C-alpha cells in the first residue's frame, strides 16, 4: 500500500502541488488524471524519490521515501513518460542490465518470466532501436516490473502510441490489475483512465479536486471537461 499525506512542492513563490493526500491499496489500479501541467508528474516524481517534497510524506508499506529512499525504491516499479531505453541493446540484454543494476538473484529466471508476462518474448533478440514503439513501451513496462515491486507507477504510458498500440498496452496493463501490486497510472485523457482504472484522482492546478470510483464517470466527465475548458480559457486570455 502507498500512503501520501500533505505532499507540497514549491519553487520559490510558485506552488507546483499543494497538500496532495491519498491512499492506494494493494491490488488497486488508480488513475491520476489532470490537464497537462496540473502537477501529476511532480507528484509521481516525489512518490518515486526522484524529487524531494517541500512538505508532506509518501510511504510505501510504511517506509518513508524521503527517510529511507533506497529501501522504499526496492518496492517501486517506475515507468517515466520518457523511459530510459538503450537502442543499441537487445531487449534481453537490456533487461539483464536492469536486473544487474538492481542486484537481483536468478537473473535468467526473472528475465524469462518478465518476457512472458509482458509479451516481449518474440522480440527478445532484437535491438530495442529496431522494434516498434508499442514493443518499446512493453519493454519499458518490463523494466519496471522485473524486480516484482509492490507499487507500480506509470506516467502517461500510452502517450505517442497509435490506436492499435494503445489497445495492446491497455490489455497488458489490465492484466496487471487484481494482483498484490498497487498501480498508479497518470494521464491527461479521461478515456484512458476510464478504460484501465477502478478509481480516479483528479489533480487541477496542483490540488486534488476529486477522488472517486470510476462508477461515477458521468460526474467525472463533466468536472474534467469544466477544468480543461478553464485551462483553455486561461491560455487564450494570456
The whole-number mean pLDDT for each consecutive block of 10 residues of the chain, a chain of 238 residues, reads: 96 96 93 91 95 97 95 94 91 97 94 93 97 92 94 89 86 74 88 85 93 72 72 48
Q: Are residues 38 and 129 in the same domain?
A: no
- 208 falls within a domain: yes
pTM of the predicted model, to two decimals? 0.86
Cα gap 236→234, rounded to integer Å: 5
Other CB atoms within 10 A of residue 50 CB: 13
Contact 99, 111 (CB under 8 A): yes
Q: What is the pLDDT of residue 218?
A: 61
Question: If DSSP codes are grouped into helix, strand and coil, which group holds residue 210?
Answer: strand
Q: What is the pLDDT of residue 222?
A: 75
Beta bridge partners of 30: 184, 199
Q: Are residues 156 and 125 in the same domain?
A: no
Q: Which of 128, 148, 168 is the last residue of a domain?
A: 148
Q: Are residues 207 and 138 in the same domain?
A: no
- 174 falls within a domain: no
Q: Are residues 135 and 155 in the same domain?
A: no
188 φ, ψ (degrees, to nearest 5): -105, 10
Instruction: Domain of residue 98: give its range.
Output: 82-148
Q: Are residues 156 and 235 in the same domain?
A: yes
Amino acid at each position: 500500500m502507498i500512503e501520501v499525506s500533505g505532499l507540497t512542492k514549491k519553487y520559490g513563490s510558485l506552488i507546483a502541488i499543494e497538500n496532495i493526500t491519498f491512499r492506494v491499496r494493494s491490488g488497486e489500479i488508480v488513475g491520476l488524471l489532470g490537464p497537462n501541467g496540473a502537477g501529476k508528474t511532480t507528484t509521481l516524481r516525489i512518490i518515486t524519490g526522484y524529487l524531494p517534497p517541500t512538505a508532506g510524506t509518501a510511504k510505501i508499506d510504511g517506509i518513508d521515501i524521503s527517510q529511507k529512499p533506497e529501501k522504499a525504491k526496492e518496492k517501486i516499479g517506475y515507468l517515466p513518460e520518457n523511459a530510459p531505453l538503450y537502442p543499441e541493446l537487445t531487449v534481453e540484454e537490456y533487461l539483464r542490465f536492469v536486473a544487474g543494476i538492481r542486484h537481483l538473484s536468478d537473473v535468467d529466471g526473472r528475465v524469462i518470466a518478465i518476457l512472458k508476462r509482458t509479451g516481449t518474448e518474440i522480440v527478445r533478440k532484437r535491438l530495442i532501436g529496431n522494434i516498434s514503439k508499442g514493443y518499446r513501451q512493453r519493454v519499458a513496462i518490463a523494466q519496471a516490473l522485473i524486480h516484482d515491486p509492490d507499487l507500480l507507477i506509470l506516467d502517461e504510458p500510452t502517450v505517442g502510441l497509435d490506436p492499435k498500440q494503445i489497445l495492446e498496452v491497455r490489455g497488458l496493463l489490465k492484466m496487471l490489475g487484481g494482483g498484490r501490486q498497487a498501480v498508479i497510472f497518470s494521464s491527461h485523457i479521461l478515456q484512458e483512465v476510464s478504460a484501465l482504472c477502478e478509481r480516479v484522482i483528479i489533480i487541477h492546478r496542483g490540488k486534488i479536486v476529486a477522488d472517486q470510483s470510476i462508477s461515477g464517470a458521468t460526474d467525472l466527465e463533466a468536472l474534467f471537461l469544466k477544468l480543461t475548458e478553464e485551462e483553455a480559457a486561461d491560455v487564450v486570455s494570456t
